[in-house]
Structure 1
C-alpha cells in the first residue's frame, strides 16, 4: 500500500504533461526494495549495435513483464523475465498512486536500469518504439542516489531542463512527452547506487521481428 498523498504531486510541465511524485513507497519500504532488487535480480549488460559496432551499455538492466511484452531496441529483441514479487508490488503502488491522482493506467512491462555510480549513464533518447503506441504513458520510479533526468525539446522550442529524481520518487511522462522531448541520464560525480524502474504498456500486435 502506497503512503503517497496527492499534495506530494508536482507539475513540471503542463503540455505535454510531466509530473513528479514523492514518497511513493515510504520508508523503510523504499530502501528495502532497493536492497532486494540489487541483490536478487539477474542484472545483465547487453551490447547494442551503434554505427555498425557492438558496444556494451554503460549500466546493467533487466527487462521484465508479461510473456508477450517483448521489446525491440537498437535492432535487438528483448524477451521479458517473469515479474519479481517486489517489482510487481512497486507496479501496483504506481497504479494506485495514479488512480488517486485521477489517472487510470496499466502496465504489462518494466525496464529496470542499475547505475552502480555516477559514471554509469543513459544517452539521449525517446521511448517512442512502435510497440509502445503513438502516445504512451511512462511511469519511472527512482530508488537510491538522487540524480537529474535531463530533458531537451526535439524542435528546440524551449531551453533544456533537469528533473531531479530523489530516492522513492515517481516521474510520470504523459502522452506527448516522448514525441516532443528526449531525455538522458548524464554522468554525475560522487553519486552512488541508483535503480530506476520505467513501467510501460507494450502492444504485442505492434512488435516487429
Structure 2
C-alpha cells in the first residue's frame, strides 16, 4: 500500500511507500550502481583500521564536510539524479507540513545481505541538536533494527522495501540507535540518507 504509515509518534518515525514509482525506482537503482564511484574507506575501531563492510559515497554542497570515526569526509559533487530525488523528498515532506532542507546525503551500497551497518545514531555535532533524517531505500528489502538508548523498551525492526522513504524526525537520533544487521537476503540494496550539515564555524 502506497503513502504514509506512522510507525510511532514519540519520537516521530514514519514510512512512505512509493517515492518514485516503478520503473523510475528501478532505473535509479541501476543508474546509481553504474555511475557513482563507490568507495570503501578504512575506519579506526578499537585502535585498528578496518575497511567498512559496504561501499559508500558522501555527496553534497561544497561546505558540507562530515566527520565520523575519526575521519573527515569532503563531499563529492551532487549527481543530477540525486538532486532530483532530494527536491522531490522536500516537496513530499512539505505536503505534511514538515520543513526540511538537505545539503548532503550519505549513499550506502550493500551488495548482498552479508554487508552491513553497525549500531549508531546520526547525532554528530555538525547535524545540530535535533536532526531530521530522510532515508530512501532502493533494491532488496531489509529490516532496519532499532534499539532504545534507555532501558525499558523492546528493540524493533522497520522493514524498508524498495522505493520507500523512512523519515526519522526530531528526537530519533537522541533516543534511538539503528543498525542494518547481516541477513541472508540476496540482492543489491542502495540507501540514501539525506541530512543537513551545518557549515564550519556555525
TM range (shorter): over 0.9
Unaligned runs of 5+ in 1: none
Matched, 1:101 2:86: no
d(CA) in 1 for partners of 2:143 and 2:156?
A: 9
Alignment counterpart, residue 111 of structure 2, candidates 116, 133, 136:
116
Alpha-carbon contact 1:146-1:191 (below 8 Å) kept: no
C-alpha deviations, 1:44-99, integer Å up to 9, x for none? 00000011100000000000000000000000000000000111111111111101
Q: 2:139 aligns with which of 141, 144, 147?
A: 144
Structure 1 position 205, deviation (Å): 3.1
After TM superposition, the score normalised by the length of structure 1 is: 0.94
Shift of 1:206: 5.6
Aligned position for 2:35: 40
Paired residues in the alignment total: 202
Contact 1:110 1:198 (C-alpha < 8 Å) held by counterparts: yes
Aligned to 1:66: 61
Counterparts of residues 154-169 of structure 1 (less than 5 Å): 154-169=149-164
Match of 1:22 in 2: 17
* Equivalent pair of 2:63/2:200 in contact (CA under 8 Å): no
Distance 1:174 1:75 in 2: 26
Instruction: State how far apart, in whole Å, the 2-side matches of 1:31 and 1:206 are.
Output: 40
Structure 2 residue ranges without an equivalent (≥5): none
Distance 1:195 1:81 in 2: 17
Is the Cα–Cα contact under 8 Å of residues 69 and 80 in structure 1 kept in the other structure? yes
- TM-score norm. by structure 2 comes to 0.97
Runs of 4+ in structure 1 off by over 3 angstroms are none
Counterpart secondary structure, 2:200 = helix
1:9 alignment partner, SS class: strand
The Cα of 1:16 is off from its aligned counterpart by 0.4
> Counterpart in 1 of 2:200?
205
Could you tell me which residue of structure 2 aligns to residue 8 of structure 1?
A: 3
Structure 1 window deviating more from structure 2 (110-119 vs 98-107): it is: 98-107
Conserved in 1, the CA contact under 8 Å of 2:57 and 2:108? yes
